[in-house]
Amino acid sequence: MHNAPSEPRTVLVVVAHPDDAEFGCGGTLAAWAAEGWEITLVICTDGSAGGPDDATDVGPEARRRISEIRKAEQRAAAEILGLKEVVFLDYPDGMLQPSIELRRDIVRQIRRIRAQRVVCQSPDRVWTPQYSIPRFHPDHLAAANATVAAVYPAAQNGWDFPELLAEGYPPSKVRELYITGAPVLNYAVDISATIEQKLAALRCHVSQLGTDQTELAQRVRQWAAERGQEFGLALAEAFHRVEN
């Protein structure tokens, strides 16, 4: 999409957890950042439920600790991708709801940076075997539903969340919405030049993905090659893209 020079080249990425963006669109974000887009990453949860599945120490202190570790990992990954900032909305991990409060918090971020592009996870489940279970994480669905509702109409409609007008955030229209992991993928970004940045960013998430990510890197390359093949590119990330 063509952007006049006066328009801000701003992107808001909204996901549920630290590392979601790297998996879904890390190569794309690095490519856009290299093109001069200013990218803000919003993490809806505090990442406080991201330890090993068999952990038994899951009390408040353990949650506080893992939350801090994951935030630091996310900031390091964002730096590798060339993102401008990371914003944590700090909803409790594992309990995210597509609430009006979450929608308002996302609208505030869209309006604050006057986001031209918004990237989010899929609000729809995909019932095909090649998709893995994590795509069905209820936090992902909640973050996605709240984001799609924030993009239209709330971000561009002054009647929605008048309290944001009082905060100094007038309505702002998003031009393009990109949905990762959607049932229908109609747009791909060539990540051949940025796959190494994506992998390096994933390597920051040691608490979730461990230190030996050789196998993971192979899988990520394989996914990118499969997506690329569908769109005539070497390595790609794919989206459902809609213009507003």
Q: Which residues form the interface with Zn ion (CB under 5 A)? A: 16-17, 20
Query: What gap in Å lies between CA 139 and CA 149, rounded to an integer?
Result: 15
Nearer to Zn ion, 17 or 103 (CB): 17
Longest dimension (CA), the chain: 54
**Smallest separation, CB 121 to Zn ion (Å):** 8
Q: Which of 235, 224, 225 is nearest to 23 (CA)?
A: 224
The closest residue (CB) to Zn ion is: 17
Nearer to Zn ion among residue 38 and residue 93 (C-beta): 93
Neighbouring-strand partners of residue 40:
12, 85
**Of residues 20 and 105, the one with the C-beta less far from Zn ion:** 20
Q: How far is the CB of 236 from Zn ion (least distance, A)?
A: 21
| Shortest separation between residue 35's beta carbon and Zn ion, angstroms | 26
Q: Helix (H, G, I), strand (E, B), or coil: what is residue 197?
A: helix
- Structure token digits, residue 207: 């608490």
Give the C-alpha separation, 80 to 68, whole Å: 19
Q: CA–CA distance from 149 to each of 153, 185, 220 (Å)? A: 7, 20, 30
The least CB distance from residue 49 to Zn ion, in Å, is: 10
Contact assessment for residue 139 and residue 206, using Cβ atoms and an 8 Å cutoff:
no
Q: How far is the CB of 66 from Zn ion (least distance, A)?
A: 14
Nearer to Zn ion, 15 or 238 (CB): 15
Q: Which is nearer to Zn ion, 17 or 205 (CB)?
A: 17
